[in-house]
Homo-oligomer: A and B are copies of this chain.
């Protein structure tokens, strides 16, 4: 293994430390700490875990984090009404509705709910108004995972300007906003997806390659230009022992993990890429911790924004 490992967990800790004086200043100015309200609908165990992690990180950073729980049987109208109340509540700075929503709410439920959130409180950055501001280079609240990727790359000393960046995946949550952030930093950006012809060859043009496809080990060494920086956004749970052997080899620490727990978390990047990439983000411990740090930063930014007078118009 030759790639430098980009330690997202350590950077996330550093960013949370940097936030503390801002939280103190914001608390003094508003006479209360920045307040993040999370809505958790249903009983998805992974969502519950994500929300607990956000609660803990928020509390450690000096924020107030309040979790509103809705039963899996709650209706979309109930959820929209709850969000409407949080919009009107002057004590709420940031609103996050945890995805995925219960399937019974219907396929358009997330768009409907995200559209309902006051853009000034939209700490996920998913509201169309904030997506538009991001495209125009004037966003205040930027989606957390893409911001975390850029933060990790920049603070690792990797040059973005003038380099070729390839993003695999075109989701509204990662791929498209990340492309905009890299473009603003003067990368030449290519967006790839399931319909891309000869994907490995296109990916191998990248100086900075970002994988956000949601398929364990999808990005093999054939996708990677030697020396490239490879950012792995995937968080995939592998539950088949054969697949773990195939990815990490017999006798690997990951296989021991698997044998102890029955599953392992694996990124979109194949472990063999570590032999060819110049720098690589691990999974876990790469982009994931940054996502939460960026959520805290957005909450503080939203709280600070609310201390200013409302813009005209």
Residues of A that sit less than 8 Å from B by CB = 80, 84, 111-112, 115-116, 127-136, 138, 161-164, 170, 172, 176, 179-180, 183, 186, 188-193, 195-197, 202, 312-313
Contact = CB atoms under 8 A, between A and B. Distances in A.
A183 B170 contact: yes
Given A128-B129, A129-B132, A202 B176 contact: no
Contacts of A313: 80, 84, 112, 115-116
A212 to B, nearest CB: 14
A47 to B, nearest CB: 22
B197 A188 contact: yes
* Number of this chain's copies in the complex: 2
28 contacts: A80-B313, A84-B313, A111-B136, A111-B138, A112-B313, A115-B313, A128-B129, A128-B131, A128-B132, A128-B133, A128-B135, A131-B136, A132-B132, A135-B172, A136-B172, A162-B196, A162-B197, A163-B197, A170-B183, A176-B180, A183-B193, A188-B192, A188-B196, A188-B197, A189-B190, A189-B191, A190-B190, A190-B191
A239 to B, nearest CB: 31
Contacts of A127: 132
A195 B128 contact: no
Contacts of A80: 312-313
Sort A-B residue pairs by CB-CB distance and give the 9 closest, nearest first: A128-B132, A131-B132, A132-B132, A186-B195, A190-B190, A188-B196, A116-B313, A128-B133, A129-B129
A277 to B, nearest CB: 20
Contacts of A136: 111, 128, 131, 172
Contact of A195 (B115, B116, B161, B196): B161
A104 to B, nearest CB: 19
B188 A188 contact: no
Contacts of A183: 170, 176, 191, 193
A284 to B, nearest CB: 29
A193 B197 contact: no
Contacts of A191: 179, 183, 188-190
A98 to B, nearest CB: 19
Nearest to A127: B132
A280 to B, nearest CB: 23
Nearest to A116: B313
A136 B130 CA distance: 12
A156 to B, nearest CB: 20
Contacts of A172: 135-136
Given A129-B132, A130-B132, A183-B191, 8 more contacts: A80-B312, A128-B130, A128-B132, A132-B135, A135-B135, A162-B196, A176-B183, A186-B195
Nearest to A176: B135
A161 B115 CA distance: 29
A236 to B, nearest CB: 23
